[in-house]
Amino acid sequence: VGGIGIMNIMLVSVTERTQEIGLRKAIGASPSDILMQFTIEAVLLSVMGGMVGTGIGMAGVAAVGALTEFEAGLSPTAIVLATGVSGGIGLIFGVLPARRAAQLDPIVALRTA
């Protein structure tokens, strides 16, 4: 579900920034430059979301440990794994919008208002 959200957000970002992409391509940015920009944005967005979610989860575990008699523990491996999976999802689902941005024709992109 998070991957679909990332993809939709990035597709909207590409659509909203069509003129910027056209301008960058017109002054010499290669398709790989555009691809890299949008892929990095998608990964950063998902990793930051994963970190926020992990923080909320850690707070929940601490609250359960403090308010109940259950033993609550946090595993550094689980935290790194959760953030890594989040980044991977951003990478996988961010490639399609990034490829779409990289394939834009600069002239058509600049004419789009």
Tens digits of residue pLDDT in 12-40: 988 898 889 999 999 999 999 999 999 89
Interval 61-73 mean pLDDT: 89
Number of domains in the chain: 1
Find the range with the poorest average confidence among 3-7, 31-35, 69-73, 109-113: 109-113
Which amino acid makes up residue 78? A
Average pLDDT value for residue range 53-80: 89
Structural domain boundaries, residue 44? 2-111
Given a contact cutoff of 8 angstroms between Cβ atoms, the answer to whether 102 and 8 are in contact is: no
Amino acid (1-letter code) at residue 62? A
| Residue 35 half-sphere exposure toward CB, CA atoms < 13 A | 9
Other Cβ atoms closer than 10 A to 14:
22
Q: Which residue's structure tokens are 């949008």?
A: 38
Amino acid identity of residue 22, one-letter, is G
State the average pLDDT over residues 40-52. 88
* Residue 3 pLDDT: 83
